[in-house]
Structure 1
Amino acid sequence: MTTRRNFLQKGILGLTATTLINVPSVFAAPAKRNAAGKDPFKLAIAGYSFLNFNLDESLKMMKRVDVHYLCIKDFHLPFKSTTEEITAFHAKLKDNNVVGYAVGPIYTKNKEEIDNAFNYAKRVGVDLLIGIPAHADLEYVAQKTKEYNIRYAIHNHGPQDKLYPNAESIYNLIKNLDQRVGICFDMGHNKRDGRDSVADLQKFSKRIFDMHLKNVTVAANEGTTCELGRGVIDIPAFVKMLRKVNYQGCCSLEYEKDMKDPLAGIAESVGYFRGVCDGTR
């Protein structure tokens, strides 16, 4: 029988296996933890988790927990960064065996801001932009995905979000748009809106390009984020569904509890997730 303690023990053992290698190019995939039986999805960290930390401090925490993919936030790489600054940013990530795989979330209020967001993503060199556009601008977003060949994933923020409270609200608005417009599935906020996040992962998987991995204390507006193994979402069932739908993107841990001292909670969540993955094969 596999218990939460087993999951944690297996995951924590995985944290000691940090691999330090030279990546052959800026966007090359970093070393794999396990060559055999590796899941198609990748564990990452959403840059917002490091709101109160500079890039060096953030990368040091990522090294401590052996995570190698980062969704880039603008407080680490500002929108107006020069080509030289972007190159230096990626060089620093490479030195730490980290790949910046996407940018965002980026809020936009008009077409000019959408233009700026796509231009930023292109200059950074990623093919995925996480955003929160106005409903009226969705057709324009779709045009930009074609123009730039950059995928755009809309983020849901729960019951207080009047634009995109859950995955279904996004899907209903984008289902007839270009296939490069999709969802950044925040499973925690989705749950806070009273949804079944495991079922919604299955239902909308074809348009889910990215996800924010988190758990919440209760399935209601007042729910708050917590360590991954301590909330109301069934994480083992979620992992099994990731495999069932053959999700191949990143699962970006977005840790919003104890944001001024997040390392312990991030480490526990990473260890738990890896333990679940190992224990449910």
Structure 2
Amino acid sequence: MTTRRFFLQKGILGITAATLVNIPAVFAEPVETNAAGEDTFKLAIAGYSFLNFNLDESLKMMKKVDVHYLCIKDFHLPYKSTAAEIEAFHAKLKANNVVGYAVGPIYTKNKGEIDNAFDYAKRVGVDLLIGIPAHADLEYVAQKTKEYNIRYAIHNHGPQDKLYPNAESIYNLIKNLDPRVGICFDMGHNKRDGRDSVADLQKFSKRIFDMHLKNVTSATNEGTTCELGRGVINIPAYVKMLRKVNYKGCCSLEYEKDMKDPLAGIAESVGYFKGVSDATR
């Protein structure tokens, strides 16, 4: 009998060598899952992927690709939203079988803006805030995580980012801070900074609270984001590492190509990630 797993394995292995790197070795090695055979990580979509779409349009796309977790951006739920507006927002998500699990990324330049970001996260009702603070404000961020009991994950943006180009640059600054201060690991931008994103996932996993799932065309500043299966990051190896480190957060697809017409690329990337996850299980 032809099983779903066999079909997915055959389909993925049939993709060109330019798409997958060293995939035979990855599939040859067993991977660990939890007792129920389900992964501890969840596939999500970063709200920035829907920059050019309202909430209804975004949720319609999420339904088409069967993804149920969303990192909330302010253009869908403004910072000054009232309690009634926040309640209506969550009701709409629930009606579409979607959970808003975090907010951000939120850029802040001073302590007042950090206060506002934490207040926003509390009012939205999430326990994770993705942010980009100034280095001088990191101790203050740590204080706020204690005050609100909300985790704060700092986002890296690659070689052009003078504050946080890669995961290591964040870790070195936060390693002695409150453990509720961590990393939103953008694996694509990390790769653009010449890093090994699979190795860095393992190295910094204890402080990675969230991640932006994406691939890039090259490990250079000139590299651009692309469909998940078409870039230079070995996604099957990455999925294997997610299991090895027992990552329990969201893998939030951030699709930045064709942003005015992203559905095809999002669907391809979601299908690829789900296929790889299933075939390597």
Cα contact 1:8–1:272 (8 A) shared by 2: no
Counting matched residue pairs gives: 256
The one-letter amino acid paired with 2:76 is H
The runs of 5 or more residues in structure 1 that have no matched partner are 10-34
| TM-score normalised to structure 2 length | 0.89
Aligned AA for 1:89? Answer: F
Q: Are the counterparts in 2 of residues 8 and 275 from structure 1 also a CA contact under 8 Å? A: no
Please state whether the residue corresponding to 2:229 is helix, strand or coil: helix
Task: State the match for 1:65 in structure 2.
Answer: 65
2:133 equivalent to 1:133: yes
Match of 2:217 in 1: 217
Question: What CA distance in whole angstroms lies between the structure 1 residues aligned with 2:256 and 2:229?
Answer: 14
1:2 to partner: Cα distance: 8.9
Shift of 1:3: 8.1
Deviation at 1:38, TM superposition (A): 1.3
1:76-225 superposed matches below 5 A: 76-225=76-225
Shift of 1:216: 0.1
Deviation sequence 1:69-103 (CA, Å, 0-9, x none): 00000000000000000000000000000000000
The whole-number CA distance in structure 1 between the counterparts of 2:278 and 2:180 is: 32
- C-alpha displacement at 1:6, in angstroms? 1.6
Mark the runs of 5 or more structure 2 residues left unpaired by the alignment.
Answer: 1-5, 15-34
CA RMSD in angstroms, aligned pairs only = 1.6
Query: Using the alignment, how far apart are the partners of 2:53 and 2:67 within structure 1?
Result: 17
* Residue identity (%): 89
**In structure 2, what residue type is equivalent to 1:181?**
V
Counterpart Cα distance in 2 of 1:57 and 1:257? 18
Partners of 1:97 and 1:240 in 2: how far apart? 28
Residue 32 of structure 1 aligns with which residue? none
How far residue 122 of structure 1 moved from its aligned partner, in angstroms, is: 0.1
Work out the CA distance in 2 between the residues paired with 1:211 and 1:8. 26
Equivalent-residue separation in structure 2 for 1:84 and 1:189 (angstroms): 37
What residue identity is the alignment partner of 1:238? Y
Q: 1:234 and 1:6 mapped to 2: Cα distance? A: 17
Match in the other structure for 1:239: 239
- Which AA in structure 1 matches 2:155? H
Letter in 1 for 2:180: R
Q: Equivalent residues in 2 for 1:14-93 (5 A)?
A: 36-93=36-93
Structure 1 runs, 4 residues or longer, greater than 4 Å off: 1-5
Give secondary structure in 2 for the equivalent of 1:230. Answer: coil
TM-score by length of 1: 0.89
Distance of 2:178 and 2:121 partners within structure 1? 18
